[in-house]
Amino acid sequence: MTIQDTLSQHVKTAFSNLYQAELDTVEFQSTRKEFEGDITVVTFPMLRVVKMNPAKLGEDLGQYLVDHVAEVKAFNVVKGFLNLVITDGFYLNFFNGIKDDDTFGFVKDLDDKAVMVEYSSPNTNKPLHLGHVRNVLLGYSVAEILKASGKKVYKTQIINDRGIHICKSMLAWKRFGNGETPESTGLKGDKLVGNYYVKFDQVYKSEIADLMSQGLSEEEAKKQAPILLEAQDMLIKWEAGDKEVVALWEMMNNWVYEGFETTYKNIGVDFDSYYYESNTYLLGKEFVTEGLKTGVFFKKEDGSVWCDLTPDGLDEKIVLRSDGTAVYMTQDIGTAIQRIKDCPDVGGMVYTVGNEQDYHFKVLFLILKKLGFDWAKNLYHLSYGMVDLPSGKMKSREGTVVDADDLITEMATTAQDISQDLGKLEGYTEAEKQDIYKIIGLGALKYFILKVDPKKRILFDPKESVDFQGNTGPFIQYTYARIQAILRKVDFNTSVTLSAVEVSLEPKEKELIKQLELFPEVIQQAAANHSPALVANYTYDLVKEFNSFYQNVSILGADKHNEKVFRVQLAQSVANTIKNAFGLLGIEVPERM
C-alpha cells in the first residue's frame, strides 16, 4: 500500500472527527524541496466543504495525524499546503515488501476483457522507414504497458497489400526487372520491391514531361501517362482474379513480408496476428446493408450510401460508392467487427496511426457506435506526430526516405563512434562490442522517440540521441550497468530483511524509495493515457535520483554492515525497476558497459 493510500483514509477520518464533514477525495503532491516533508496534503479543495482559514485547517489536520497515525512523525503548514514527515519505518516496510519482487509495479491478475493494439500497418510496395519506426515503437510499448497495467493484450497489424501503389511496383518489376529476385540481388525483398516503386515514379514523371511537351496540361498528362494507365489496368485484372497478375502479386508480396519480418526482429517488436487488406477490403458491406435498414445510413439519388454525422458536429461520410464498391471506411468498419468475431474476449482496440488520420478515426468510432456495437466506446486512436530529420522531409516514391534497416545500422555505428571516443568498452572482445553497440544504438533510438509525448512532432538527431549524459537511453543504460558492476563485487549475504531498529534512512535513501514507490502508479497512468513518455521520463527521474544517492552515499564502503546490506538491496531494486521500465519501452539494458 502506498503512503497516499494509507494517508487518504486517515485524512478523511480526521476531517470527519474534527469537522463532522465528509471528504470524497484527498489531493496529494510531492513536498517541494525547500520545505521539510515527504508528502504534501493540499488543503485548498477542502475549503469547499468547510469554510475556514486554510492554514488553521492544515494545523488541525497535521496535529491530528501526528497524534493518531504512526506513520506521520511531524508536520508543517505553508499556506494551503500541509507538509507531512513520514517515519523511516513506513518506507522500510514498503521497501521490504518490494525488494524481492522482480515484477514490482506489474499487475498480475489480468482483466477478463482484452485490448487489441494495432500498429505498423505498412504498404507492401516499400521497406519500413523512420515514420514506421515511431509507429511500431509506440504501438509495441503501449501494448506492453497495457499488459503491465493488468490488461490481456493482442498485438496485430493490417497489411495494406492491395491497390494501385502495389501495382506500380509490380508493373515496374515486370517491365524492368529481368527476373531478378532477393536471392539473385542479395537485397532484402522489401528493398527490392521498393526500388521498383521508385523506378515507376521516375518513368511516370518522364512520360508526364513527354506528354506536356506535346501540348497536354500537367493534369491531363498525369492522367494519361501510359505507365499509369497500365498500372490501373493491372489493378482491374487483380480484382478480377487474373491468374498471372495474382501470381506476380503473391510472389512480390511474399518477398516484402520476409523483409518486414527481418526488420521487426531487428527492432525487437512482435505481433500475435496479421490482417491483410486483400482479405478485408470487402468486409463491411453487409453492415452497410444493415445500417440502411436501421436508418444509420441513407442512399443518395446516384445510389451511393452515406452516413449523416452533421448532428454530431462532423459531416456526411460516404460508405459505399454509387457502383457498389467499398471505400476505406467500409473496410475499417468490417475489419473492426471481424476482429471481435476472431477474439470474442476483446473489449476495446487501440489504433496506432499518424495524426493525419484523426478525422477518419473520429468518424469510424462514431459510425460503429451508431451501428450499436457496445465495444465501440472503448476504441482509441493513438495519434502521433511526424518524425523529421535535420535534412528535411521524406518521400517514398522519390527514394528519399530513411530506411528502418539503415537507421538501425547507423545507430549502432553512431554508438560505436561515441563509445570509442569515450573509451567506454576497453577490454571487451569484438563480438561483445558489436552486441553492445547495437543495444546502445537501438536503446538510444527507442528512448529518443518514446520519451516525447506521442502527439508531438519529433526532430530526430541520431548523434544527440546517443549522448551518455542527460535524458537519453544510453545514460540510463549506463547507470544500470554501473549498478550491475557494484552488485558483482558483493561478497556477503543480502537476503535479509532489515527494520527501522537496524537501519536508519539517509535523506538520499528515503528519496530513492519514494521514487520507487511511484512506479505502479506511473504504469497505470501511462496505460490510461496510452503514453510511453510517462514511463520513459519516470525512469530518467529514478536514474537521476540514484546517481545523486550514489555520489553522496557510499554503498560498499558503508560504516555499518546493515547499512551496506540495505544499500545493496536498494541498488538492486533500482536496477530491477530500470530493467522493467525499459522492458515496457522495448529497450534492452546491458549487464556491462
DSSP assignment string, 454-497:
TTS-EE--HHHHT-SSSSSHHHHHHHHHHHHHHHHT--S-----
| Cell of residue 484, nine digits | 550491475
| Residue that has been written with the C-alpha cell 497512468 in this structure | 525
Distance CA 447, CA 278 (A): 35
Assign 398 a pLDDT band (cuts: 50, 70, 90): very low
Domains 3-86 and 404-584 fall in the same CATH topology: no
The candidate with the shortest Cα–Cα distance to 283, out of 359, 341, 353, is: 341
Mean pLDDT of 501-521: 94
CB atoms near residue 47 (< 10 Å): 13
- pLDDT above 50: residue 547: yes
- Residue 160: closest CA among 357, 1, 440: 357
- What's the rounded Cα separation, in Å, for the pair 542 and 375? 37
Identify the CATH number of the domain defined by range 404-584.
Answer: 1.10.730.10
Give the rounded distance of the alpha carbon of 131 from its chain centre. Answer: 14
CA–CA separation, 207 and 168 (whole Å)? 14
Q: Which alpha helices (H) appear in 127-274, and where do they start and end?
A: 130-148, 164-176, 182-185, 189-213, 218-224, 226-239, 243-267
**Amino acid 391: pLDDT:** 64
pLDDT at 466: 87
Q: What is the mean pLDDT of residues 467-475?
A: 91
* pLDDT (average), residues 525-547: 98
pLDDT higher than threshold 80 for residue 395 = no
Residue spans of the domains in the chain: they are 3-86, 163-256, 285-325, 404-584
Q: Which of 179-193, 387-401, 508-522 has the lowest mean pLDDT?
A: 387-401
**Using CA atoms, how far apart are residues 169 and 197, in angstroms rounded to an integer?**
4
Share of the chain above pLDDT 70, in %: 98
What is the tens place of the pLDDT at every residue in 240-298?
999 999 999 999 999 999 999 999 999 999 999 999 999 998 888 999 999 999 999 99
Mean pLDDT of 375-399: 76
- Grid cell of 261 as nine digits: 519480418
pLDDT at 574: 98
**pLDDT band at residue 98, thresholds of 50, 70 and 90?**
very high
Mean pLDDT (whole number) for 86-109? 94
User: How big is the chain by its Cα radius of gyration, in Å?
Assistant: 29
Identify whether the C-beta of residue 188 lies closer than 8 Å to the C-beta of residue 405: yes
Q: What is the pLDDT of residue 377?
A: 97
Of 24, 58, 55, the C-alpha closest to 41 is 58
Average pLDDT across the chain, whole number? 93
Mean pLDDT of 540-554: 97
Q: Cα separation of 467 and 444, whole Å? A: 8
User: What's the rounded mean pLDDT across residues 405-418?
Assistant: 89
pLDDT at 399: 46
Beta-carbon contacts of 416 under 8 Å, excluding residues fewer than 6 positions away, are: 433, 437, 441
What pLDDT score was predicted for residue 72?
Answer: 96
For the question of whether the overall pTM of this predicted structure is more than 0.85, the answer is yes
Write down the pLDDT at residue 465: 87
Give me the pLDDT at residue 131, please.
87
Residue 396 has pLDDT above 70, yes or no: no
Quote the pLDDT of residue 23.
93
Position 93 confidence tier, pLDDT thresholds 50, 70, 90: very high
Q: What is the pLDDT of residues 229-242, one digit of tens each?
A: 999 999 999 989 99
Looking up cell 560504516, which residue turns up? Answer: 559
At 422 the pLDDT is: 72
Sheet order of strands, 298-299 included: 298-299, 305-308, 316-320
Judged against a pLDDT cut of 70, whether residue 392 lies above it is answered with no
pLDDT per position as a tens digit, 416-470: 988 877 776 777 888 988 999 999 999 999 999 999 999 999 988 888 888 888 9
pLDDT at 401: 65
pLDDT in tens, 155-171: 999 999 989 999 999 99
Question: In this model, does residue 173 exceed pLDDT 80?
Answer: yes
101 touches 107 (CB < 8 A): no
Mean pLDDT of 330-350: 96
Pick the closest to residue 528 from 392, 354, 350, 355 (CA basis). 350
What band does 184 get if pLDDT is binned at 50, 70 and 90? very high
**Which superfamily does 3-86 belong to?**
Arginyl tRNA synthetase N-terminal domain (3.30.1360.70)
State mean pLDDT over 169-184.
Answer: 97
Longest Cα pair distance anywhere in the chain, in angstroms?
94
The count of other CB atoms within 10 Å of the CB of residue 20 is 8
6 class by beta-carbon count within 10 Å (0-12 exposed, 13-18 middle, 19+ buried) = middle
* pLDDT in the model for residue 113: 93
Q: How confident is the model at residue 397 (pLDDT cuts 50, 70, 90)?
A: very low
User: Do β-strands 72-78 and 298-299 pair in parallel, antiparallel, or remain unpaired?
Assistant: unpaired
Band of the pLDDT at 400, cuts 50, 70, 90?
A: low
% helix / strand / coil in the chain, to the nearest 5?
55, 10, 30
